Structure 1
Amino acid sequence: MSTTSLSSAVMTHPVREAQAAALAARLGLDGLARDPDPDGPPSALRTALVAWAARAAGADHHLVVQDDVAGPPELLALVAGSVARFPDEALVFYTNWHARNGAAARLAALAGAGWVRAVPEEFAPTLAICLPVGTADAFRSFAAETGERHDDEVMAAFLRTTGRSALLAVPSVVEHIGTSSINGHAAQGIRLAVCPVGAADARPLLERGWVLEEVDWLPYMRYGEGYLRPVGHERDADPRRHPRWTEALPDTGLTEGRVRDVARRHRPGGAAAEVGRLFGTAFADELWIHCLLLGRQAEDAARRHQAPPPGSGPAGAAAARVRTAALSTVGPAGLPPERRPEVTPEHTALLTAYADSAVRRGGLLLGPAPRTRAGTR
């Protein structure tokens, strides 16, 4: 790997400045980027522009993290190793568990990948993101022309102009803390990382894990219901629309009857009844079918990329633990925000096993193995 010169900044508002300073000190980050107009209308972008301008002289990459995250002491080393591997990419080290990008990262984890290309039409997660300095400068110029206040939306729009969305780290070493939001996202409730693991498990996947470049059609959940992002949805007249899985399924070559037949034959009745008792029968149905479709897509991706299953290959046991982490978040993330605080560790264990039972049956929706192509880089 080549040597990388990396600078960093924590973007913050005065109400969280002490928290931001503690984060910077704990992780060895270079300093704080303060909101230049703290009494003005809420705007994450206003502070982000300060943060992206705060790169050190001579740095070739710049990391920006937000003040409401936690990370391991090894964060800078993990980022430096990642940008040495992918020097020209926008790299994201935190992905929300309930977004389309979260579903993409979860699918990649189930397939055994270390990185996945972000969904282009959705906001780009910016809680912990690293850019080459030339890209950072271009983003600042692009963002100066917008009236948008959400830096994650502007980042996604900027990356679309480059023709290449961000690479998402599948293992999540950065975690969101708290539920408050200066920028108006508190209604989304508990927002956590999709595949939370420690640095030791993240490192082999970040350094050697294969890259899932094409997610194909993508199952995801929001507010207790299952949805499906069709292939090429970014070109749709309304790419932010959320098609229900029953609506979008015909474009995948599957039928609702086939999916429901697998669920009828293979869903564990006792677990389904318990999940239904706790969170509603409709949620239990939607979650299992969502995970069945996720499992189908994960197995298909692994086949196409000739990837070893999690637990084998160069990442070994780390990939298996990242897979378990991805399964542990799918149930809580799929609940409506007001129900997520009800989830206890016992509920999480139940939901994880229930999700796993569906993911493992996803291969029943696959036909013969397709012709493979290389997927590592």
Structure 2
Amino acid sequence: MLSVETTDRRLSAYEDVLGPDRRDNIRDRADRLDGKRIAHINTTADGGGVAEILHALVPLSRDVGVDVDWYVMDAPDEFYDVTKTIHNGLQGDHTTLTDEMRDTYRRVTRENARALEKRYDAIVLHDPQSLGMAPTLAERYPDTSLLWRCHIDLTTAADAYLEFVRSWLEPIDRTIVSHPTYAEAVPDEETAIVHPAIDPFTEKNRPLEELPDGLEGSDPSEYPFDVDRPLLVQVSRFDPWKDPLGVVEAYRNVRETVPDAQLVLAGGMPDDDPEGIEVYREVEAETETDEDVHLLTNLPDVGINLIQRSADVGVQKSLREGFALTVSETLWKETPVVGSNVGGIPLQVEDDENGYLVDPEDTEATTDRLVRLLEDDGLRDRLGERGRETVREQFLLPRLLEDYLTLLASEVDR
């Protein structure tokens, strides 16, 4: 396994969004963790919401005095092919998980668990990729509390994949999910609900005028879209569960009413997602003759910031969704969102308050809400202002830090 380096963060920087009660709670939980050692383990340090959260959560935990390390697994490409299949199966796909794939998963997770040299009081294993480490870690370090943080929507999981996950849960002391309904998939486990959150002071989320001049991706003229024309934006991985082709269909319907509308689909290509390039090519082939559809990949954070602020409306037309932090990112920039009524999206989008919720299969409703927002400046402004307040109240990093420290303190105190 590889140790991940992070840049320093200071809790004092968050005073404007922190509040005295939360500050006191964080300090109290950190004091309870004094002398304890914590580790987070996942599969990538770049790309995707988990890595992004850990790049903020780990150094901020250290700033308040908690001894925290972060590791990424050392794994071959075939392991990520297996874990992508597992990910899809947990979201409802019924592809067969073969004996060979099970053996690959077991071998790689065992090797990584054996490679962990330091002892910890608590270890947080993120998503199915690292869950298989639990039995070996429990055997090697019987006094360590093991927590599994599942960021995936488990409500429509294929039975075979849900059973596969359950087979690794026996050593886990606590499962953490993003939505109460996800916990129903692991009814025999002790579960906690923790909503993800964004960091308002990163290059992705700070006001553009507060960022240093000359950052790569910060010049609007670098981008192929026209900021003076209506712009729809979906930021997410090129993944069939994000339904990029469904977004393209809705955009084409919108053009019948708003003929100068444009669409941006922006997403990274994480190291642990081998399916991404295939989906990208499929969307590229479908849209190659439309000069107003722009597929943007691996943008720097400031680039994501710029396009979310340039958007008139954000879109998150997922078919399944663990949480979708891109929704909170977009709302934070006072851009209303039309999102599917699945997974964690309804936790963030309040229908007709900061955006609209639609059935993921209802392209007609999606089109209607997009047109409604594009044609009504006052409505966009009202919903956009409310969206920023929603995120301020519920989905910023200090709240996530408080939740994690509370859970970890309760585990190591057992």
- TM norm structure 2: 0.24
Indicate the structure (1 or 2) with the bigger Cα radius of gyration.
2
- TM norm structure 1: 0.25
